[in-house]
């Protein structure tokens, strides 16, 4: 059977793959490259500072969050809609990763099959928009994510766990003596909780991540920065891929004190690929990804998180790595998307 021609529609906030932070962008880069290796005709729509071995249609010179001169961030989105519209005839499937911004494409009668991977938490407003565009098929990225969509009446055509290539992550069985927080530096990702937990447990904490937008910058300056002068806290800011792997593999554990219904949380499997267990709150996908007592600990309160730090010697780091190879590999992700593409085509 002839393989479908697929357009991958990337978010325009940061390049593909990301230079530093960017779970969606990393997942999309890995998916695109693997599909090209498998012989698919893939076209990536993304910002011009992206890199890909697929056919490439740039829709803005520089990713939106990196262009500090940009006055109208929605203008490039409109440009991207037009670029995709003009090429409908080149594709059998549009695979959208750019939230609801690309939904209007589905209104045209000649629109190809339209698949959207929902990468964000779903609330009532988002769900209403999804239900209004009934030609679009939606993929969830965890079972809890699917449940959250179905609670709002959004039909889900499949669940595909995000995957990574474990060979890109170095395994380390003898880590350093610090805990790691690696994520966006905002309230709902739980950076303040990570600081409190590490302090209460008398542990060193390394914080790495970025802030995007005025609200996050303000939060960083007023809430996070005053807490960074503790001698046990080391602040690294944004880190690139190599630096991230170094931090992950040398950490005793990754703290994931999420304060939202997390759809997936790619950093958890990146940590586990390095052998590093995860201590996370019981929200969203966390209990699906972290096997309590085996690849980390699932906690309900900061106090439980502190206790879990004392139990880290119970975790076999080799099992963390093996779990990623078996459940969260790039291969399992692309295999599942291939099946969905076949159904659509």
pLDDT of 223-251, one tens digit each? 889 888 888 999 999 999 999 999 999 99
Q: Which residues contact 345 (CB under 8 A, 6 or more apart)?
A: 4, 92, 93, 113
CB 250 within 8 A of CB 172: yes
Query: The whole model's pTM is what?
Result: 0.94
Cα distances from 191 to residues 104, 156, 224, in angstroms, run: 36, 32, 8
Residue closest to 10 by CA, chosen among 30, 34, 40: 30
Q: Give pLDDT tens digits for 96-107.
A: 999 999 999 999
Q: Give pLDDT tens digits for 116-148.
A: 999 999 999 999 999 999 999 999 999 999 999
Whether the per-residue pLDDT at 288 is higher than 80: the answer is: yes
Cα distances from 82 to residues 95, 102, 332, in angstroms, run: 16, 10, 33
Give the residues across from 233 on adjacent strands: 205
Cβ atoms within 10 Å of 178's Cβ, excluding its own? 18
Residue closest to 228 by CA, chosen among 280, 266, 192: 192
Domains of the chain, first to last: 5-163+329-344 (3.40.50.2000), 166-327 (3.40.50.2000)
Task: Report how far apart the first and last C-alpha atoms of the chain are (Å, whole number).
Answer: 10
Question: ω before 88 within 30° of 0 (cis)?
Answer: no
Cα distances from 160 to residues 232, 247, 272, 329, in angstroms, run: 39, 27, 19, 11
Q: Give pLDDT tens digits for 79-98.
A: 999 999 999 999 999 999 99
């Amino acid at each position: 059977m002839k393989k479908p021609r697929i357009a991958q529609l990337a978010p325009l906030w940061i390049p593909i793959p990301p230079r530093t932070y960017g779970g969606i962008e990393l997942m999309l880069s890995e998916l695109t490259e693997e599909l090209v290796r498998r012989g698919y005709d893939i076209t990536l729509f993304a910002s011009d500072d992206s890199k890909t071995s697929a056919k490439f249609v740039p829709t803005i010179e520089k990713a939106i969050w990196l262009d500090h001169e940009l006055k109208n961030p929605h203008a490039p989105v409109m440009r991207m809609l037009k670029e995709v519209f003009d090429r409908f005839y080149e594709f059998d499937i549009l695979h959208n990763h750019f939230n609801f911004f690309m939904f209007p494409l589905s209104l045209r009668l000649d629109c190809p099959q339209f698949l959207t991977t929902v990468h964000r938490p779903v609330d009532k407003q988002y769900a209403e928009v999804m239900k209004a565009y009934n030609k679009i098929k939606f993929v969830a990225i965890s079972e809890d994510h699917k449940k959250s969509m179905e609670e709002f009446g959004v039909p889900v055509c499949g669940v595909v766990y995000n995957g990574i290539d474990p060979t890109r992550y170095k395994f380390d069985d003898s880590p350093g003596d610090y805990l790691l927080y690696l994520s966006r530096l905002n309230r709902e990702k739980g950076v303040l909780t990570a600081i409190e937990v590490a302090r209460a447990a008398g542990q060193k904490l390394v914080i790495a991540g970025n802030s995007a937008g005025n609200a996050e910058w303000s939060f960083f300056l007023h809430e996070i920065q005053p807490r960074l002068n503790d001698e046990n806290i080391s602040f690294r800011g944004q880190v690139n891929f190599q630096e991230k792997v170094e931090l992950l593999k040398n950490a005793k554990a990754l703290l994931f004190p999420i304060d939202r219904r997390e759809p997936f949380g790619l950093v958890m499997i990146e940590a586990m690929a390095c052998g590093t267990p995860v201590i996370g709150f019981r929200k969203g996908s966390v209990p699906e990804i972290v096997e309590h007592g085996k690849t980390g600990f699932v906690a309900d309160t900061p106090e439980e998180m502190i206790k879990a730090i004392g139990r880290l010697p119970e975790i076999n780091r080799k099992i963390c790595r093996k779990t990623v190879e078996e459940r969260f590999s790039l291969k399992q992700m692309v295999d599942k998307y291939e099946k969905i593409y076949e159904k659509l085509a």
